[in-house]
Structure 1
């Protein structure tokens, strides 16, 4: 996620420079043709086309941003639920006989959020997952198709073991299970966003219409701008292409790009809070790299 307050114009230009270069060449060709063979182009249809296209692109960007913001909201709920399960384990399970069980539940939750991060970004399970699990704990979950869900199931089984050992009663078990349900619901929402792309019409048609409009734009402007047509048309096309790129950037909030929801940073936040809750040394918070928090 880009966290700097200064707009990254360079990033936007990098994403659109190829079609923009082609359009600039086309603008020059249209200008040369007009100067040799003057013609008149009706302005009203192009004006209407541009107005409708702006509304279309705005609707698409809003839809993409809604997905991005929902993903961020779900991860905010995941941070809170992780703190809650650690606090419940620490407060419900008695000391010192259940101390190891408390540590196991807390460390498994840290491993869980990092496993979920890897799944959403389509990455292999990394060391941030494995370093908090023993070999016996890691193996059953790593054999699952959904590693994160396997870790969550294992946490639920350990809460049941705590109840059978008499460390918690059924009411306390129900309260802890309710937190696990909140975690599972948040995971399900994230998987829905990741596995359900915007309908193809939302992605194909705006791209098609934007490029058609950019091709027609110099024809409508050349009579007014003359030799300045390549500059004016290219700048106008840049605005439409930039809005198109913004919608494309936000449509997948777990794509592991600079526009991604900062999963690594939020997992580190959970790691710090949970380790400190059991008295362990915690790492430093993640810092932005060149204005980007990953």
Structure 2
């Protein structure tokens, strides 16, 4: 998530420079053919091009609205996870009696932090439809670091789970799911020992069900892409419009004067760049967990939750909040 006031124009130009090179070539060729080689028949009336541009603008606007909705829903889900996590800490502290040997509260809270860790690692896994492997995104990725891409899950879990539980969890595919199942098993054992009242046990189990629900919502967004038919037609319409724009501008600028036909190049580049950039912005918002600069900052939110829960245990050696790098907060 970008936390600065705005993206600098130079970063946008860097991010879209490959498109700018392509647009420049597409614009220069028909202009040179028309003005220098006097091939007049390549000019196209502006009306049909404007119709294509209208369709492209409509589908681009539709896509950007829907991808923003996906991003906002993902943010709401993780807002609910933050609230439920804090509630979990309170309920554990007030509803669960400490065992004579061991630290029950710490086990339950550390295991919850392990669930957050496993979930964010799962959400950062790549999918075939995601966009961060595209060349322009790979280049832009030098401005920030995705912790889940550089740190190992095993190292993170080793400080939160026992060796036996860590081995069990790492042997599963959906690790977050099985961490919750360990929590439920532990709660049942505590109830059987009389350390949790029956009604309090039900409340704690309901909290685990709520966490499963939020996990499932996150997985739904992660595993169901923005429909490919809409993404494809959006790209096709924008590319078609980019190709047609200079052919429609030739006669329009020639009406202002023979030498002014060369204005087709700068104005054609600007118009095509606007449409191309709008399409890329929508694309960059499609997948809010993939590890891009416009993602929901689940790493930072998980760290915030961890700090809150550790403070509920009266710990003093707390991890530092995640800081943005080049105004990108992960």
CA deviation string 1:231-265 (max 9, x = no partner) = 10111111111111011101011111212211110
Paired position in structure 2 for 1:285? 321
Report if aligned partners of 2:300, 2:321 keep a CA contact under 8 Å in 1: yes
Equivalent position to 2:153, from 112, 125, 137: 125
Equivalent position to 1:230, from 246, 265, 268: 265
Q: Which moved more, 1:20-29 or 1:147-156?
A: 20-29
* 1:46-195 paired onto structure 2 within 5 Å: 46-95=49-98, 97=100, 100-122=103-125, 125-195=153-223
Give the deviation of 1:96 after TM superposition. 6.5
Give the deviation of 1:99 after TM superposition. 6.5
Paired position in structure 2 for 1:37? 39
For structure 2, the residue ranges without an aligned partner over 5 or more in a row are 126-147, 254-260
CA deviation string 1:196-253 (max 9, x = no partner) = 1122111111111101100000011122231111110111111111111011101011
* TM-score when normalising by structure 2: 0.85
Deviation above 3 Å: which 4+ runs of structure 1? 95-99
Q: Distance in 2 between matches of 1:64 and 1:213?
A: 22
How many residue pairs match? The answer is 294
CA deviation string 1:151-185 (max 9, x = no partner) = 11101111111111101121101101111111100
CA deviation string 1:55-104 (max 9, x = no partner) = 11010111111111111111111111111111101001225648611110
* TM-score when normalising by structure 1: 0.95
Q: Distance in 2 between matches of 1:255 and 1:93?
A: 37
Q: Which moved more, 1:205-214 or 1:124-133?
A: 124-133
